[in-house]
Amino acid sequence: MAFRAGVRPLTATIGASETFGLGCAPIGNLYHDVAEDAADATVAAALGRGIRFFDTAPHYGAGVSERRLGRALARAGVDRDTVSIATKVGRMIVDADREPVAVGGTGVDTVGDLSADGVLRSVEGSLLRLGTDRIDLLHLHDPADVDEALRGAIPALVRLRDEGVVRAIGAGMVWPEPLTRLVREADLDVVMIAGRVTLLDHTGEESLLPAATERGVGVIAAGVFNSGILADPVGSPYFDYREASAELRSRALRLQDACERHGVRLADAAARYPLRAPAVEAVVVGARTPAEVDAFAAAETAAIPEELWAELAAL
C-alpha cells in the first residue's frame, strides 16, 4: 500500500506508507468503555491488516488512548521504525486540582493550552504514555484561537521539528476556515480535516484543499463517516455526534441506495471518497474492535466503478 504522488507526500514527512490509518480515539473509551485486552486486539488487528499509521491524542480518554496504543505496539513486538505515530498538543492533561499530570487515566481531564510551555509539557507526557522516544507527526488539536496558536504553540512545534523531536508538524480541526488560515500562515507539513471532505459535507474542498495544494501541505481526511450516518444511515443516524436531521438522513439513504445498485457498501464508498481529491493522501478511521478494523480496511481494495462515483456526485 502506498500514497499516491503529491506535492509533498506524507511518506516523505512522516514515513507512513499506508492509505488508511487507525484512529485511536475509540480505544480511549470514546462514548463506550473498551477493555484493555479489546484495545490490544484492535491494534493487533490493524497491524495484521498492514496498517502502520496510528493517530492518537492526549485528549482521547485523558491519556488512555496514548497509553493503550503504546502498550499494544510494545506487546506486538513492533519495530518502531516500521510504524508512524501521530499525536497532538493543545490540550493539557490535568488532575482534579487542574495541575498538569503526565500519565493520565481515571480522575483526570484535559484543558486547552496553546502556550509554548504547554506544547513542551504535552509532548513530554505523550512520549511517556506512548513509550517511545519520538513522534512522527505532531498536530495542534482544535485550537480555539488561531492568533494565540500562531504566537505560542506553532513556534514551539516548529522548534520541536527543527530539533528532531518530531518528524513533521500539522494541525487537526473540524472547521476548514481556521485550518486554511493555518495552512497559509504557519509552516506546516500536514493537516487533518475531520468530517468536511465526505460524501455529505464538501466544505473542506472549497478553500482548504486548494490552499494545501498551493502550499505543498499533505492532507489527511478523518471523520469520513460523519459520526456514523455514512457507515449505517439506519442503525447509526448521527452527524457530527448528534442525531442527524431528516434531510441528512434522506440524503444518506439515497447515497446508500445508489451504492447498493452497484453492489458496493456505502461505508466503503465513504472511506474511499476523500482519496479522490488529489490533495488528500490518507484517511484515518477510528475503530474499537477487530471487526471494525477489518470492515474499514476492506474498503481499500473494494471494487468501486466510476459509474457509481458519477452517480454519487449527481446526488
| Catalytic residue of the set 60, 238, 241, 273 | 60
For residues 166 and 195, is the Cβ–Cβ distance under 8 A?
A: no
For residues 7 and 216, is the Cβ–Cβ distance under 8 A?
A: yes
b (16+ CB within 10 A) / e for 54-86: bbbbbbbbbbbbbbbbbbbbeeeeeeeeebbbb
Non-local CB neighbours of 123 within 8 Å, separated by 6+ positions: 89, 135, 138, 160, 165, 166
60 is catalytic: yes
For residues 172 and 142, is the Cβ–Cβ distance under 8 A?
A: yes
DSSP symbols for 197-231? SSSS--GGGTTHHHHHHHHT-EEEEE-TTGGGTTT
SS (H, E, C) 53-97: EEECCCCCCCCHHHHHHHHHHHHCCCCHHHCEEEEEECEEEECCC
Helices 246-261 & 306-314 angle (0-180, nearest 10): 160
* C-alpha neighbours within 13 Å on the C-beta side of residue 255: 27
Query: Which cell numbers in the block locate residue 222?
Result: 478523518
Helices 36-48 & 290-297 angle (0-180, nearest 10): 20
What amino acid positions are annotated as catalytic residues?
60
